Structure 1
């Protein structure tokens, strides 16, 4: 296999998938020197700068890093890759990590929590002891479903009772400086104003692990015998959560959730955290919260997820959809071969007999929940055009009627479909109407929607991928979007 092919797969986000039009990686806080083992065998984390603080008698000497910077593991050589066999966990529970290391050597795990932290974007919470890495067996494949459920347990992290709930990232680093990542969620049942739902079901739908030109498969793609990428007709119909994420180990679009988290924690919003599978499995009660926030691309929904959200809305819990193309495909979640619930996801798409699994084609269009629905891809970023600028959402943003917010319609877009039923509502308004050109050169438009359900719940849909990055992603922040989002959340949280 040539080096050109290997390089092609290192990113974890091949061009076939919905690309991130925002340039910045999902974790801009990962910077600085590689984690490595010093001469005394101690782990020195990547953020320590040996030059910034000259050693004193009380501070240990930090030797120079062994390489110029971290090297990203890939799915061809699998220098270090891993996953957790647990879903979201509560303080007092344990996270089980299954990790392969090739060649076998010692490695360490730095655990970070995503947040504001003075602008850093994350804080290191703990570091594992030095761990012995082994080469785990190759992934098992059956009908294009790839699973690593047979990997040995590498490390069990007991979550202390005092840890904050939130979105976490485990950064895996080998002794020779290769790095990979594993995201996980710490949740709790305590009440909060807002429940943030991380779209792990959609993350897995796009996961092509292993991106090796042979065995990897997602709900979008698989490979043929010659290493060519095949489309949806030959893709997997069932994918497993028991495997690493492709490339560097972070899901496609994970940054959209992290953008929202950094912004919301900076301004002190009272957040609880859960995964989409928690919503599916009944592990969270949405009616305990004033609002549910869906911060990123959230395309794949089970019947249980949708029913739970509809009941929450009917009970007065507001819904905030900060991306686009939400609730598009219907999926089923099932147990792993060993019986662990919700470790396999099936979405037949248009393969084989039976009905389509598009919600809108089984007479349950997503617009009935969201207020708008998916319209199509946006090949190049376009401006969002403000509409109804006198509405309270745009208050104190400085936005005037017809103003353009550059680049805010990007990735994918939603709009109102006049022939599709609307949800029951007391009032409803469109807050943006933005023309853009699709891949075929046809003129289309994006819309941003807000309605009030009979229960009093507010349901907001941004209708674009670019809303969350505009909250806190370097190079994409827009103060009008920040203030509009604050206006919305303050009203939902009943802040003065």
Structure 2
């Protein structure tokens, strides 16, 4: 069929002209052209905005929970051919439906309907007892099962749950991964989504029963439970059941797929379990708020960089909390900090955790440092650097509000490391808080690179997809910016190995 043919060079140039994209075209007939056709073909299919929740409600007694319709899935990440189980509770008892959508660009609609369940019978599921470290580990029976079709393209998928008594809705969310070699690998920061998940009420990694912002080892959180509504900074109804994906990561996904990059998707748990995962890409992407890593994740990506894979940390507060993963309960808890003692101007209880090497800046280039939170403009410090090619930015030029709400500083002593943007952080406009962010680039051993954007909010400057809510605390990002988009193209272009 015509849609399965890879586009020729003339077609790619036409796309570039129509979209304003700066493409680094591979040689004719190269594998890169064939690979990239998959994402482009997928996004050419009819999209819809029906993936968005249209009627939501939160129980005020819990602050975060939608007990009328809520659920979770058996896999954070799943391959085609494997069976996904969806566990759903409806209180009161109600019939319900599940509509599954892949999220992407889809001509601006942001999603495509890929499967619908039909009408299902709901029930009130039993609440779990509180376990060690206040663990909430639901053991609900499966409400719906489906074998992931072989033709589902790797991506982030949501199941929109709708109870049929009042029409109230929430999500379940999961990643479909593949095993092919790609230009880019997008890692969802779902360890961090789960860490901040307070479902059913004050049971996040930050809740020890005494304080809502505990930063020690006294809490544990499981993927065997629904995601409650997001608990910080902004009010986002689309976060009910979807963790933090729509807040910090979706604008990056939307832009990548609009631009036609060849991209595959994985979960944090994939990097934890499988050192081979990052070896099948040219560039590995950490996006948004990627705070919680295991030592296995650190070592696996470190080894991949050593083998020639590039990495882009388009994220803030990344690789900060060192966690231990438990396969039996699908849960995680803190065991340490990827940074030096006192390096973050310690939160309460952080001193009870181990602070030992490796430090995050030894992987990223910079890392979380005191006072951790704050905001700033992205200020150009090396206008002649390849990073700024095509932006016309001069030394001292600023992109407003890009840095926030957590950022990276304290650059590591790595041979060849360059600081490409830096500036003071603030607690409010015009009120410095004593911090300094540093965005960095350093060379890998095989003509690869590691880029650090030093902010959770980079994706805000790439796109503004349907349903997106702009953050504003300490400072306010200003949305899509052509200079930031071009910087991103420059970084991703440098990652390409073929």
Counterpart CA distance in 2 for 1:494 and 1:385 is: 29
Give the structure 1 partner of residue 55 of structure 2. 70
Checking the alignment, whether the CA contact within 8 Å between 1:376 and 1:414 is kept in structure 2 is: no
Q: Which runs of 5+ in 2 are unaligned?
A: 1-47, 230-239, 338-346, 466-477
Give TM-score, length-normalised by structure 2: 0.77
Name which of structure 1's ranges 484-493 and 137-146 shifts more when overlaid on structure 2.
Answer: 137-146
Cα offset, 1:437, TM superposition: 2.1
Checking the alignment, whether the CA contact within 8 Å between 2:214 and 2:349 is kept in structure 1 is: no
Alignment of 1:224-239 (within 5 A): 230-232=212-214, 236-239=218-221
Gap change, CA 1:377 and 1:171, over 3 Å in 2: farther
Counterpart CA distance in 1 for 2:163 and 2:314 is: 36
Give the structure 1 partner of residue 356 of structure 2. 362
Cα offset, 1:97, TM superposition: 0.6
Mapped pair 1:311 → 2:299: no
Mapped pair 1:259 → 2:259: no
Alignment of 1:87-166 (within 5 A): 87-166=76-155
Give the structure 1 partner of residue 18 of structure 2. none
Gap change, CA 1:183 and 1:313, over 3 Å in 2: same
Name which of structure 1's ranges 466-475 and 272-281 shifts more when overlaid on structure 2.
Answer: 466-475
Checking the alignment, whether the CA contact within 8 Å between 1:377 and 1:413 is kept in structure 2 is: no
Counterpart CA distance in 2 for 1:254 and 1:284 is: 28
Counterpart CA distance in 1 for 2:349 and 2:54 is: 51
Counterpart CA distance in 1 for 2:140 and 2:290 is: 29
Q: Which runs of 5+ in 1 are unaligned?
A: 1-44, 49-67, 338-342
Give the structure 2 partner of residue 286 of structure 1. 278
Gap change, CA 1:309 and 1:379, over 3 Å in 2: closer
Please, what is the CA RMSD of the aligned residues?
2.7
3-state secondary structure, aligned to 1:72: coil
Counterpart CA distance in 1 for 2:224 and 2:426 is: 39
Counterpart CA distance in 2 for 1:318 and 1:462 is: 14
Cα offset, 1:196, TM superposition: 1.0
Aligned mate of 1:398, from 386, 392, 396: 392
Counterpart CA distance in 1 for 2:222 and 2:373 is: 30
Aligned mate of 1:484, from 477, 484, 487: 487
Counterpart CA distance in 2 for 1:298 and 1:132 is: 37
Give the structure 2 partner of residue 51 of structure 1. none
Checking the alignment, whether the CA contact within 8 Å between 1:116 and 1:122 is kept in structure 2 is: yes
Counterpart CA distance in 2 for 1:325 and 1:205 is: 13
Length, aligned pairs only: 412
Mapped pair 1:169 → 2:158: yes
Give the structure 1 partner of residue 458 of structure 2. 467
Deviations 1:276-296, CA, capped at 9 Å, x for gaps = 101111175312211111112
Give TM-score, length-normalised by structure 1: 0.77
Give the structure 2 partner of residue 62 of structure 1. none
Give the structure 2 partner of residue 84 of structure 1. 73
Counterpart CA distance in 1 for 2:397 and 2:348 is: 47
Give the structure 1 partner of residue 183 of structure 2. 193
3-state secondary structure, aligned to 1:188: coil
Checking the alignment, whether the CA contact within 8 Å between 2:65 and 2:228 is kept in structure 1 is: no
Checking the alignment, whether the CA contact within 8 Å between 2:104 and 2:110 is kept in structure 1 is: yes
Name which of structure 1's ranges 434-443 and 244-253 shifts more when overlaid on structure 2.
Answer: 434-443
